[in-house]
Amino acid sequence: MTIPEQLKPMLVKMRRAGATWTGLRDWLSGKYGIDVHRSTIQRWYDREGYSEIDLIIDEAAANMADELAPELAEESPWESEDDVLNDANFWVDEKVKQDKKVATYKAEAAYYKKLYQSSIKDSSKKELIIEAIRDNTKALPEIRSR
């Protein structure tokens, strides 16, 4: 079973708040009846690119939000699951995650472009050699069988 998209931001928040992989699995199973192995959640989390850098950005965004709107700092982000899409940290996470994916895809594109260009060079060299051999080699005389 896969993790529903609408629960993923909450899982990220809970993990960043210190929840264990087993705790996240138990929460999904108990609250939503979704049975997944804890390693499935961990693989999803790692594959999506969440890391310590994201955590630092989260803390910086939270500190900035506390300074800009101190009256909101006392409200707990855990009070309502409906606030996930209004959470600035969630959108910062998503932006960083997308930027990482773009950087990865750009690097892969550059790598495959180099492979393609070297393949073209190699094949054109081979074609030039074969053409030179054909043009400059005399054919052997025909031998008839008896």
SS3 string, 27-62, reads HHHHHHCCCCCHHHHHHHHHHCCCCHHHHHHHHHHH
Kindly state whether residue 144 falls inside one of the protein's structural domains: no
CB 17 within 8 A of CB 9: no
| Tens digit of each residue's pLDDT, the chain (146 residues) | 678 888 888 888 888 788 888 998 999 889 888 888 988 888 888 777 665 555 556 566 666 655 555 554 454 444 455 555 556 677 777 788 888 888 888 889 999 999 999 889 888 888 889 899 888 888 888 888 87
* Structural domain harbouring 57: 5-136
The pair of structure tokens assigned to 94 is 């998503």
Kindly state whether residue 143 falls inside one of the protein's structural domains: no
Kindly state whether residue 121 falls inside one of the protein's structural domains: yes
Give the pLDDT confidence score for residue 26 in this predicted structure: 92
Total tally of structural domains belonging to the chain: 1
Distance of CA 119 to the CA centre of its chain: 28
What are 22-31's contacts with CB under 8 Å, separation 24+? 28/3
Kindly state whether residue 145 falls inside one of the protein's structural domains: no
Kindly state whether residue 141 falls inside one of the protein's structural domains: no
